[in-house]
Homo-oligomer: A and B are copies of this chain.
Amino acid sequence: MPSKTVEADQQRKLEGLTKDSPMRLRMESFVKQMQQEVTSALEKVDGQATFKTDRWTRAEGGDGISMVLQDGAVFEKAGVAVSVVYGMLPPAAVAQMRAQHPNIGKTDEALPFFATGISCVIHPHNPNAPTVHFNYRYFELGSDEKGEPLSWWFGGGCDLTPTILYEEDAVHFHEVIKRACDEHDPRYYRDFKKWCDDYFYIKHRGERRGIGGIFFDDLDDKSADELFTFVRTCGDAFVKQYVPIMERRKNMPFTDEDKHFQQLRRGRYVEFNLVHDRGTKFGLLTPGARVESIMMSMPLTARWEYMHEPDVKAHGRLMEVLRVPREWIPA
């Protein structure tokens, strides 16, 4: 089938969705729309480079759109990817998920699964401008006699990784996402902020990857409809979280020492993603996964020096926050 026809088909599938449409399609539609909005906003910030779009299909079931901007005026590398993946989940992976999703029941068999989501990692050139990451996803596992999933859940979050700590940027990033959380549940920000600090811990370094944000997984404590609205509110907050920070940092002067320290922090980013990140691990273990999409999160360049000690005067404040996470918004 010519790809134009495929695209038109996919477009039709996502048109005219209502509250009663399957959540799979509603979430797919949302992440595809969000991808367009985020990439447009980032192109405006960059002012020069544009995203290149790759559409791919997975032989085992599914497709995706990867959009990457490389070597821009402002961004060293920015990737925004959406995917829809489905098929059979091997018994070992099912077993891992059972602890959080008892509905699945005890089975030694593979189960049908469906996953759709958006993920984004942005590495700017200027060391005053922070790296950012977000990811929002919807998952279904198993199938009852009516074809309804045995278990479904939402996951996601956003987090900021500065090279140079600007307290006001951290506060802004957290404030915007706290407002989004507060619209839906007064406990969400507190709980998901802590989850984020715990998740992005690089244990072997005794440091977090960045200054946090929110992180949640296996979220099924309200109706799918309510949680979808929550996830959309978070997603819609992203441009407001990040673009104002970029506008004030992207053209600031910096020293060679700042750039050098940025490269070392990029090394830590790689360590977290390859050693700890569940998404990357799950991706690399999924048969037929698209490696280039998984590795999109890697920085363009990174550096490792033996026994490097950060300059306390220039970078001590950041290191403190990475070692002991801070409450950016007073309770």
Instruction: Name A residues whose Cβ lies closer than 8 Å to a Cβ of B.
Output: 54, 66, 68, 70, 77, 79, 203-205, 263, 267, 270-271, 274-275, 284, 289, 291-292, 294-296, 298-307
Contacts and interface: CB of A to CB of B under 8 A. Distances in A.
Q: Which 8 pairs, one residue from A and one from B, show the smallest C-beta to C-beta distance?
A: A298-B304, A274-B274, A68-B306, A204-B284, A204-B291, A301-B303, A302-B302, A274-B275
A87 B222 CA distance: 49
A306 B296 contact: yes
Given A204-B284, A270-B274, 4 more contacts: A66-B306, A77-B304, A301-B301, A302-B304
A302 B303 CA distance: 6
Nearest to A272: B274
Given A267-B298, A284-B204, A298-B267, A306 B79 contact: yes
A50 to B, nearest CB: 14
A300 B303 contact: yes
A270 B295 CA distance: 12
Contact of A304 (B299, B306, B307): B299
Contacts of A263: 301
A70 B305 contact: yes
A68 B304 CA distance: 13
Contact of A291 (B66, B205, B274): B205
Nearest to A303: B301
A274 B77 CA distance: 22
Nearest to A205: B291
Contacts of A300: 303-305
Given A271-B274, A274-B274, A295 B304 contact: yes
13 contacts: A79-B306, A203-B284, A204-B284, A204-B291, A270-B270, A270-B274, A270-B302, A274-B275, A275-B275, A296-B306, A301-B302, A302-B302, A302-B304
Given A274-B275, A275-B284, A291-B204, A307 B54 contact: yes
Contacts of A267: 298
